[in-house]
Amino acid sequence: MKTRSKLLGLAIIIILSMLIIGFFQVSHSGTTNKKQQRLQKTSVKNQSNALPKHTKLSDWQLLLVNKQQPRTSEISFNKVTVDDKQIDQRIARPLANFRAGAKNAGYDTTLVSAYRSIAYQAEVYNTSLKQNEANGMNKESAKKLTESVIQTPGSSEHQTGLAVDLAGNDALAKYPNLVAQMDTFASQQWLIKHASDYGFVLRYLADSKSIAQTGIDYESWHFRYVGVINAKYMVQHHLTLEAYRDELKKAAQK
């Protein structure tokens, strides 16, 4: 009886020990799995935040022209004519695909403006200035209003041949002078939403931070070619070209 009791007690001890060991193994495994899941999530997040590989500030798609970095002489590139407007020939196919995509979605578009020489930009700038003054503004107010929507000569990225003013025909019919409210039309919303699929970004965004970076108020019609990979990253992270170039510059210095 004593021997049998000892054996029974020993069996109980062994069973309890196995249960305890199993519990800790499961607990440890669960903790390990959670750690692995966290690491995987962190890895995916880091990958999504990683700048596009092989992208450099010197890439032609990322050429920056603005008030802080004006050009006093014309930029040399091969031009092609589209709808009586000129653009850099390297964006001819992406632009055609962009407009074809809009048409397939049911929206006809008009290429309102593309390449502008410095001389032509001066005409656009001065015309706006005179119009504002004719509307009763003093010179300072007229200049401020003009420069909120039009770059000074030498500061417009239209002279790169990489920027286009593109509008849905219905939006343009109502707002022929190009205003932010064009984005109330489904055609313009489609262009804004799908621009990055074709390598374009809406250049001048509506939030105050972006406006401070670009120096230009929101323009729902002004698209800039930067390449598909760059465009996708910029849209995902809500970056202006200025901010994106700053990130690339910081990464290059590490």
Residue type (1 letter), 186: A
Whether the predicted pLDDT of 115 surpasses 50: yes
Phi, psi of 222 (to 5 degrees): -95, 110
**Whether residue 39 has pLDDT greater than 60:** no
Query: Rounded distance, CA 236 to CA 44, Å?
Result: 15
Distance CA 17, CA 243 (A): 61
CB burial of residue 90 (10 Å; 0-12, 13-18, 19+): middle
| Helix count and strand count (H, E) for the chain | 9, 6
What is the pLDDT confidence band of residue 125, given thresholds at 50, 70 and 90?
Answer: very high
- In angstroms and rounded to an integer, the radius of gyration of the C-alpha atoms of the chain is 29
Average pLDDT over residues 134-147: 93
What CA–CA distances, in Å, run from 58 to 78, 92, 116, 215, 254?
18, 21, 22, 22, 17
Of the candidates 116, 210, 98, the one whose C-alpha atom is nearest the C-alpha of residue 158 is: 116
Q: With 80 as the cut, is the pLDDT of residue 24 above it?
A: no
**Tokens found for residue 138:** 């003093």
pTM: 0.78
Using CA atoms, how far apart are residues 253 and 249, in angstroms rounded to an integer?
A: 6
User: Is 98 in contact with 200 (CB distance < 8 Å)?
Assistant: yes
Burial of 77 (0-12, 13-18, 19+ CB in 10 A): middle
Q: Is the pLDDT of residue 25 over 80?
A: no
Average pLDDT over residues 142-159: 90
For 48, the token pair is 């999504």
Question: Given a cut of 50, is residue 42 above it in pLDDT?
Answer: no
Outline where DSSP puts E strands in the chain: 79-82, 85-88, 109-113, 163-168, 200-202, 222-225
Q: Cβ(80)–Cβ(86) under 8 Å?
A: yes
Which secondary-structure segment (H or E) carries 142?
A: helix 139-149
When the pLDDT of each residue in the chain is averaged and rounded to a whole number, the result is: 87
Poorest-pLDDT segment among 22-31, 54-63, 244-253: 22-31
Mean pLDDT of 166-178: 97
Report d(CA 225, CA 62) in Å as an integer. Answer: 8
Q: At what angle do helices 139-149 and 118-134 cross, to 10 degrees?
A: 130
Per residue in 65-102, pLDDT (tens digit) is 999 999 989 999 999 999 999 999 999 999 999 999 99
Stretch among 46-55, 78-87, 196-205 having the lowest mean pLDDT: 46-55
Which pLDDT score, from 0 to 100, does residue 43 have?
38
Q: Evaluate whether 79 touches 160 at the Cβ level (below 8 Å).
A: no
In the chain, pLDDT over 90 holds for what percent of residues?
Answer: 73
Our measurement of the distance from residue 10's CA atom to the centroid of its chain's CA atoms, rounded to an integer in Å, reads: 70
- pLDDT for residue 37: 52
